[in-house]
Amino acid sequence: MLKHSLIAIAALGLITVSASAGKVVDINIKAADTARIDKEDLGNKKVVTEEMLGLRKTTLFDENVKPAEGDFKRASAGTADRFERAYTNAPPMIPHDVEGMLPIVKGNNACLGCHMPDVAPSVKATAIPASHFASFRPATGMAADGKITKEGKSVDNTSDFMTVTKKMDTLNHARFNCSQCHAPQANIDTLVANTFTPDFGSDEQKSKSNLLDVINAGVK
């Protein structure tokens, strides 16, 4: 019912769906500018002043330092370009305006209206990944002989076991508070340059999660 209602609302123009909303942009490109990195890299400086050391960018004796005022106004949901993830399977940052959507409280999560997997394709939203419909919390206990048990199996310690994945039919409530990991972004320059370069296995990983498929990769 919710899916059909949202499609109908989108058709009426109350939710704007942009044809370019699927574009993925790198929001760190300015911070990774080579000229800026060279200028801010303390490793190549013969003299490092106190103004260079901190994020204040001013002397420690200045008591009138104020944080930069960030402008969080962005394109509305359905019209904004997506942000490239910081690294493979990193939580994607929120590219659209969240006015009236936060905070998320029990019984009211505005994110679910567009991002549930059965609705997302219709409104060109990023679908909640399969990892959010799974539990990674194993049943642990202690047997009569004092051995630790994990999912009914005896283990030497709780780390000697592959990650247990229990698929669920509903969204895991441990993932309900979306803004705990996903955050809106301000139209503001970063305080420091960024030398980190993500190594994505494919272009798809820049905007899609495959965590559930690879969570035990390399574990025996």
Q: How confident is the model at residue 8, as a pLDDT?
A: 35
- Rounded average pLDDT over 12-22: 43
The answer, as to whether pTM is greater than 0.85, is no
Does a structural domain hold residue 1?
yes
- Rounded average pLDDT over 99-110: 92
Does a structural domain hold residue 19?
no
Q: Take residue 132 and report the two structure tokens written for it.
A: 């959010």
Task: For residues 117 and 140, state if they share a domain.
Answer: no
Does a structural domain hold residue 64?
no
15 pLDDT more than 80? no
Please give the tally of structural domains in the chain.
2
Task: For residues 113 and 91, state if they share a domain.
Answer: yes
Higher pLDDT, 118 or 43: 118
Long-range contacts of 19-24 (CB under 8 A, 24+ apart): 20/81, 21/78, 21/79, 21/80, 21/81, 21/82, 21/124, 22/82, 22/124, 23/81, 23/82, 24/81, 24/82, 24/83, 24/84, 24/206, 24/207
Which percentage of the chain shows pLDDT scores above 70?
88
Return mean pLDDT, the chain.
83
Q: How crowded is residue 32: how many other Cβ atoms within 10 Å of its Cβ?
A: 15
Q: How confident is the model at residue 22, as a pLDDT?
A: 59
Q: Are strands 148-150 and 166-167 parallel, antiparallel or unpaired?
A: unpaired
pLDDT tens-place string over residues 128-155: 999 999 999 888 888 888 888 888 888 8
* CATH code: domain of residue 81: 1.10.1130
- Rounded average pLDDT over 186-214: 89
Q: How confident is the model at residue 95, as a pLDDT?
A: 94
Q: Find the range with the poorest average confidence among 101-105, 121-125, 126-130, 140-144.
A: 140-144
pLDDT band at residue 13, thresholds of 50, 70 and 90?
A: very low
Q: How confident is the model at residue 172, as a pLDDT?
A: 95
Task: For residues 91 and 157, state if they share a domain.
Answer: no
167 pLDDT more than 60? yes
159 pLDDT more than 80? no
* Tally of helices (H runs) and strands (E runs) in the chain: 6, 7
Does a structural domain hold residue 142?
yes
126 pLDDT more than 90? yes
Task: For residues 78 and 123, state if they share a domain.
Answer: yes
Q: 138 lies in which domain range? A: 130-170
Does a structural domain hold residue 196?
no
pLDDT tens-place string over residues 40-79: 888 888 888 877 877 877 877 878 888 778 888 999 998 9
Task: For residues 90 and 155, state if they share a domain.
Answer: no
